[in-house]
A and B are shown apart, each in its own frame.
Chain A
Amino acid sequence: MLELVTISALNGVLYGMLLFLMASGLTLIFSMMGVLNFAHASFYMLGAFFGFQISEIVGFWPAFFLAPVLVGGIGALVERYGLRRVHRHGPVAELLFTFGLAFVIEEIVQMIWGKGPVDYRVPLSLNFSAFTAFSTNYPAYKMFELLTAIAIFAVLLMLLTRTRVGLIIQASLTHPHMVAMLGHNVPRVFMLVFGVGTGLAALAGVIAGPALVTQSNMAAALGPILFVVVVVGGLGSLSGAFLASLLIGLVQTFAVSINLSVADVLRPIGVAPPNGGVLFDVWNVTVAQIAPIIPYLLLVLILIFRPTGLMGTREH
């Protein structure tokens, strides 16, 4: 029992940190620019494929730095020549633009790398087990994932709240005209923010690629859960996203290890399960079986009872 709890907690934290790596860029873009970027997971996928391609040629470590920069560059170009023009037509147009972009990126990735998975491996320098808990190995690579996520959180938080750059970025969101009057190039600030945000997604991709499977549907598989993280954490709140990632990672992991169903709970107090029909299935579904939808349930509940999210300050 203790073993399962410990290991589930570890797994939950690890999964949560991976979620945070991806959600950080999304929440950055949203809080700074007010753009809900539907193509965010696609940049994550691009990061994974770029990481794979570059590491084939020059190895993992150059890819770790190069891929996010390249994808961030693409992100900046998308902002400069796409999003900025669409911006005039309001947030719905922006939303539709990023929505379409997600499909375009997926199709391009399929054209170049095909629909099957590519052989993207954990680098040899990290391919050993960091420690063993209850005879379960913890790969060094996952620890690396964890540390990167925490480092990114710390750096971003510092950057936004403690530096001049962060000050200008935050001011650009609420008072763009005033910031422009003071001589700052607001559109360029936005371009940079979008570039950095997508670069962060790409970084998550480079790291997650070898840990999960790198293939053209990876964006679609992880996209929806990112929105859950951002909404539960509070739209635009970095600390909120961090907390929500941890929460969702832990909830999902623990739910999987619980084999309890409605029938198990009600039987001791004398309620007999129905003999057949639709209710029979509902009665016998275990918590483990519904684990993957629990985050979405959380999303719905948060939107009803606390629309600002855990740490959000604004209503949208």
Chain B
Amino acid sequence: MISHFKTMVCATTTAAAIIAALPAVAEDTVKIAYIDPLSGGGASIGEVGLKTFNYLADVTNAHGGILGRKLEVTAYDNKLNAQETLVQVQKAIDSGIRFITQGNGSAFAAAIEDYVTKYNDRNPGKEVLYFNYAAVDPVLTNDKCSYWHFRWDANSDIKMNALTNYMKTRPNIKNVYLINQDYSFGNAVRAEARKMLAAKRPDIQIVGDEVHPLLKVTDFSPYVAKIKASGADSVITGNWGQDFALLLKAAADAGLQVDWYTYYAGGTGGPTAIKQANLPDRVYQISEGLPNEPYAPAREFEKAFRAKTSVSLFYPRAVNEIRMFVKAAQDANSVDPVKVAAKLDGMKVTVYNGGEGFMRAEDHQFFQPMYIGNLGPIGKDQPFNEENTGWGWKVTGKIDTQDTILPTSCKMNRPS
């Protein structure tokens, strides 16, 4: 209901702007539309993202903003619905916003990418950029790639590649079970896991390959019973949000003792469930950054971030996104989306937690060092614990940028 109120306020301000016949939005602000679920099953995830971007805007503004202008994040609730997502995109564009960021749900990301590409074709001079901070379906930077879409998160294939490279070195893995959410991303995870494990460790048996409805299951015990019956020693899952927390909780109840190789164990509710399941050092996450890495600037950032928002930094990639956006605008000496896009294309930077990263020009996929870590009781030199559990992330493997690079099938249409 609050979000309805917000949209009403947005609509009213838009109307006021049109009545006053002002040229677009006020000149001294640069607006980013944040379009993600802020109600329903995905709300807990969407809220964390919003807190992150609001914090990043504050930090940017404290350091002079973008070319002296204020960076402002405007939130739109897409209710985890593709149709609603496009309504919100249209609403944002109508109110003069030229930069959109979204991350939760590859199906919605695909809808935005498609919409923005068509919109830019039809409206030269009014281009809109789409900054994707978390939707990882590989297709977005392969067959469906677009010049106007930039992805800061490593796509699912990159993550699976890193994860399976790590699993390759663990001889105790013999029987693997796959359980994923039934939509484009979940299916990408299972297909790639099968392919890569078959290539790297042909001796590993895939003893189960399950999909379940997205954010609808409340009791995972039947699924856990199936995992148990299969004799798996490791599980690979791309589950996020409550689908991860509830799965782990059911596993805890049944006393399922397996290793978990995940994408999103650190999301809201995840660490709490892992602690309850009492699986110290057995739940792994692959991502572009974990708290407790020894890189000092990242630690300082994490500390300040937690103090202000009371959540952990789950999206280091969002930090890279905003920093690169600011840099691109400065390099171009303009906030015109076309000029910003031209600077982002191929941009090389030092990423949030140290090391080199670059936005590959061929497909606008960002490449960066990747980290594998597991959650357990914190020890020395582990200043951060998660969700007040007393358990924190420990990095067990790092993959350098060069080793994360995968080919792309993207044939990009570039503006002439």
Contacts and interface: CB of A to CB of B under 8 A. Distances in A.
Do A and B come from the same complex? Answer: yes
B205 to A, nearest CB: 16
A137 B253 contact: yes
A8 interface: yes
B191 interface: no
Contacts of B256: 136
Contact of A256 (B226, B228, B246, B269): B226
Which of B225, B226, B268 has the largest number of chain A CB atoms within 10 A? B225
Given A15-B221, A292-B216, A292-B217, A4 B44 contact: no
A88 B203 CA distance: 71
A136 B226 CA distance: 11
Interface string A93-135: 0000000000100010000001111010100000001001001
A217 B226 contact: no
A119 B228 contact: no
B225 A136 contact: yes
A103 B249 contact: no
Nearest to B225: A7
Given A4-B229, A213-B249, A217-B40, A253 B216 contact: no
A213 B248 CA distance: 11
A289 B211 CA distance: 6
B333 interface: no
B222 A116 contact: no
A139 interface: yes
B interface, by DSSP: helix, strand, loop or mixed? helix
A292 B255 CA distance: 24
Given A119-B388, A137-B253, A107 B229 contact: no
Contacts of A40: none
B254 A220 contact: no
Interface string A194-238: 000000000000000001110111101110000000000000000
Q: Chain B: interface residue count, which band?
A: 35 or more
B21 interface: no
Contacts of B253: 137, 139, 141-142, 211
A208 to B, nearest CB: 9
Interface string A263-295: 000000000000000000000000011011100
B255 A115 contact: no
A116 B269 contact: yes
A8 B222 contact: yes
Given A117-B245, A136-B228, A289-B211, A253 B222 contact: yes
Interface in B234-267: 242, 245-246, 249, 253-256
A104 to B, nearest CB: 8
A306 to B, nearest CB: 27
A217 B43 contact: yes
A114 B310 CA distance: 12
Interface in B190-212: 210-212
Nearest to B43: A115
A11 interface: yes
B235 to A, nearest CB: 16
A76 interface: no
A311 interface: no
B387 interface: yes
B255 A136 contact: yes
Contacts of A256: 222-223, 226
Q: Which 7 A-B pairs have the closest CB atoms?
A: A137-B255, A256-B222, A115-B43, A116-B44, A253-B222, A117-B269, A7-B225
